[in-house]
A and B are shown apart, each in its own frame.
Chain A
Amino acid sequence: MRYLSEYRDPKVARALVDEIAQTATRRWTLMEVCGGQTHTIVRQGLDEVLSSSVEMIHGPGCPVCVTPLEQIDRALHLASRPDVIFASFGDMLRVPGSECDLLQVRARGGTVKVVYSPLDALELARRTPNKEVVFFAVGFETTAPANAMAVWRAKELGVENFSVLVSHVTVPPAIVALLESPDNRVQAFLAAGHVCTVMGWEEYEPLAAKYAVPIVVTGFEPVDILEGILMAVRQLEEGRHEVENQYVRSVRHEGNRPAQDVIGRVFQLVDRQWRGIGMIPMSGLGLKPEFADFDAELKFGLGGITAIEPPECRAGDVLRGRLKPHDCPEFGVRCTPENPLGAPMVSSEGACAAYYNYGRYDPATADREA
């Protein structure tokens, strides 16, 4: 096996770090899109080791972090209803809404169930016909095939007491929004390997060409990330801007077609709010009209619930790469993983929690940029 011997060897990592340093004739600014990659980079201190060759900006690729506040508030409203069992992935329970989180709603008597698979939520609905089961369908293209299948099956099986609160987001429109922003500093992207396992990388090719930006599909392990960074730096140095695939052992050009088919049958592109960032046109997935019966927003008339972000949380600046988490005045003060003020402090894939968990909160030792 090629990778086993190579990827476990710290010498390989060292050699990649050296090669990145030798290749870079200046300091380049790269963004890793995926929160899993952020977790690895901060945990291993890759950004610090490479700080003379590249600056890593941590992108918006953590679904816990970008699920908009108003969708959280809608989830809290549903979970408080006595006729509803609210089902969710475990990592949404501590995301702060305007007033509280799902755990607190549960403590006050709401029924909130953690499920492993959206099909488990569907099964729960079939077993509890006298209750409405609402599943919180969040995530990027990695969870979309699962959530789409649950809705597809619900229709096929005629499960009328099942619906979904959808807050799906997709990566390419977020990359476009970042690149079109007048103060964009990102010169190359590491695309998320697991998203591309589902979607392939066809849709990134026109972006790399139009915006003249290298995009490297990259895995989440330390050596994957170093290799992805090296590939991106080489392109930048050579003036190329292509889509390259570092994560060949998982990602194929066309992705997983059966999964894309089911996503396409159930969901359509819609405008979507991103927490901290704002509305990005056609950046989300919503249910197609044929599946309107399974749309919790319509079923429970949730359109009137809107929310305004607390101004103290600077997540928007963090997610756009304008502010390092430890430069937020609330970081480690009023905002900690135990008591998160904003969503990026909730999940280990959020930039603020990653910085906090791996000790980037001492200003004396912290990596202070620019």
Chain B
Amino acid sequence: MCLGIPGKIVEIDNASGITMGVVDFGGVRREVCLEYIADQVDIGDYAVIHVGFAISKVDEEEAKKAFEILQQMSELEELQWGSGEVP
């Protein structure tokens, strides 16, 4: 829950009063809150997400590299939380 996982923003939705969106993490998609970086990002940008919240924007190559390292370290389990696989 501390390291944050980078992913690609594929949807942005302002309907609820705060900026939400969908982020793709190497094929796994999760709904996330984009409110804290709302003025910096567009669809197609990459961001580091902590427990469903985008905290910083990153560039694509940095995102891919960090994702790979987290994968090697088995630090991606968080993406399964609440998805049915880990009930």
Contact = CB atoms under 8 A, between A and B. Distances in A.
A36 B3 contact: yes
B53 A149 contact: yes
Contacts of B56: 197, 250, 256
Contacts of A143: 1-2, 50-51
A104 to B, nearest CB: 15
B71 to A, nearest CB: 12
Contacts of B9: none
A220 interface: yes
Interface string A18-59: 000000000000000011100110010000000000000000
Interface residues of B, number: 40
Contacts, number: 132
Contacts of A62: 2
B65 A8 contact: yes
Interface string B69-80: 100011101111
A62 B25 CA distance: 24
B52 A259 contact: no
Which DSSP category, helix, strand, loop or mixed, fits chain B's interface?
A: mixed
A114 B87 contact: yes
A258 B73 contact: no
Contacts of A35: 2
B22 interface: no
Interface string B18-62: 100000000000111101111000000000101111011011011
Contacts of B50: 142-143, 145-146, 194
B79 A259 contact: no
B55 A120 contact: no
A116 B79 contact: yes
B86 interface: yes
A149 B35 contact: yes
B2 A221 contact: no
A91 B1 contact: yes
Nearest to B16: A153
A326 to B, nearest CB: 21
A256 B52 contact: no
Contacts of A120: 52, 82
Given A117-B32, A149-B35, A192-B2, A36 B75 contact: yes
What 3 A-B pairs come out closest when comparing CB atoms? A117-B52, A146-B53, A116-B81
Interface of A: 1, 3-4, 7-8, 34-36, 39-40, 43, 61-63, 89-91, 113-120, 138-140, 142-143, 145-146, 149, 153, 156, 192, 194-195, 197-198, 220-221, 249-250, 256, 258-259, 262, 348-349
